[in-house]
Amino acid sequence: MMIKLYRLKDYDFKLVVFVIALSVIGIFAVSSANQNYHNRQVWGVVIGIFLMLVVSFFDYNIILKLYWFIYAANIILLVMVRIQGARSHGAQRWLNIGGVQFQPSETAKIMLIVFFAAFIMKHAEEVKTVRFFIFAVLLFIPIFFLIYSQPDMSTSIVITVLFAVLLFEAGISWKVILGVIAIAIPTFIILFMMILQSDQEIIEDYQQERIFAYLNPEEYSTSGAYQQRNSVMAIGSGQLMGKGYDSDEINSVKNGNFISEPQTDFIFAVIGEEFGFIGTCTVILLLIFISIECIIIAKRSKDLAGLIIASGMGSLIAIQGFINIGVATNIFPNTGLPLPFVSYGLTSLISLYIGIGFVLNVRLTCNIRTREGIS
C-alpha cells in the first residue's frame, strides 16, 4: 500500500513545531525586509506544510522504487535550465513551466537525497568497495556540472558536501575516505591558487571578486565587501533585544538600502537588527533542533534508506544554514544561499518541506516496524 495506517501518537510533532516556528520567523522577517513578498511567503509556507503532511503519510519505500525516474527527472530539469532557463543577475537558474517559475537547483538537493538513499540501499553490500564509490561519483558528476555551469557555485558546494555526508552515512570504507582526502586537499589548494590569478577562467569574474572581497574587505569596502560589512554592522546594531519589528529607522539595513534584496541571502541581518541577539540565537537553535531531530530519526530507522533520507535532510539544513549565517556574519565569502525555512524563495521553502515530509514518514515507518517486530 502507498498509504499505511499510522498511529497519531507516532507522528513527530516536535519536528513539525520546530519547522513551522522557523517558518513563522521567516514570514515576519521577509515581510519586514520587503512587504511585497509577504503574501507569497505565507502561501509558500501553507503549500509547504500541506505537501509535507501529504508526503509524510506516503510510504517512502514505495517512492524509492522510482529512484531512476527521480534521477532522470533531476537531470532533465537541470538540462532544461541550460536550454531555456530564465536569466537574472548574470545567472541562468530559473525554469518556467506552465506559468510557474521555479529553481531546479533547489529541488535537485531533495531529489539527490532520495535517489542516493535508494541507490545506496540497492547496493548496500558493495558500499565499501572502490567500484561502488566510482559508480556513485559518476552519477553525481552530471548533477554537479549542470548546477555549477548555471553558474551556481554555492549550491554546487552544498551538494558536494551533502554527497560526501550521504556516502559517509552509507558506511564507505575509511581507506576510500582517506584516499579522497589525500587527493582533494592538494587539489583544492592548487585550484584556489589558480582562481586568484587575474587571467583565470575557472570561475566567473563576479565570483572571483567575492573571494577577493573576503580576503581584502577594506579594499572592496564600497563594492564586493559592501553588503557583508553592512550585514555585520546591522546584526551588531541590534544588540540584545533588537530595534523592534519592522523598524522605520532610515539607517536600518532594509530602509537604507544597504543590502540589495535583504529578504533572501541576508535575511539573517534583518533578524539580527530587528530582533537582536535573542532573535538570532532563536533562529540558530531552531536550525540545530531540526537537524538533531532528523539525525535522531535517522539513527532509529530500520533500514539504510531511511537512515540516508533523515540524516541527509538534517545535514542539508545544517550545512546550508551554517553557510548562510556564515556569509551574513562575514565568516565566508558571499555565496547567495537561502537560509532554510526563513529566506524568501518558494522553491527552496517548498522543497525543504517535502524533504521534511520524507523524514516524518521514516519516523512513522520505523514505529510501525517496531510494533510488527514486537507482535
Domain map of the chain by residue range? 8-374
* pLDDT reported for residue 85: 78
In this structure, are strands 86-88 and 91-97 parallel, antiparallel, or unpaired? antiparallel
CA torsion 152-154-158-159 (nearest 10°) is: 10
Cell 530564465 belongs to which residue? 86
Helix (H) or strand (E) holding 85: none
- CA 246 to CA 243: how far, in whole Å? 9
Angle at 334 between CA 197 and CA 273, to 5 degrees: 150
Phi and psi at 100, nearest 5°, equal -105, 120
Mean pLDDT (10-residue bins), the chain, 375 residues: 67 95 95 90 96 93 94 95 79 80 92 96 90 94 92 89 92 80 83 80 76 77 75 87 76 70 88 93 97 95 93 96 92 86 94 97 76 46
Cell 548546477 belongs to which residue? 147
CB 337 within 8 A of CB 106: no
Helix (H) or strand (E) holding 36: none
How many C-beta neighbours within 10 Å does residue 202 have?
11
Helix (H) or strand (E) holding 343: none
DSSP state of 259: S
- CA 50 to CA 18: how far, in whole Å? 16
Q: What is the pTM of this model?
A: 0.90
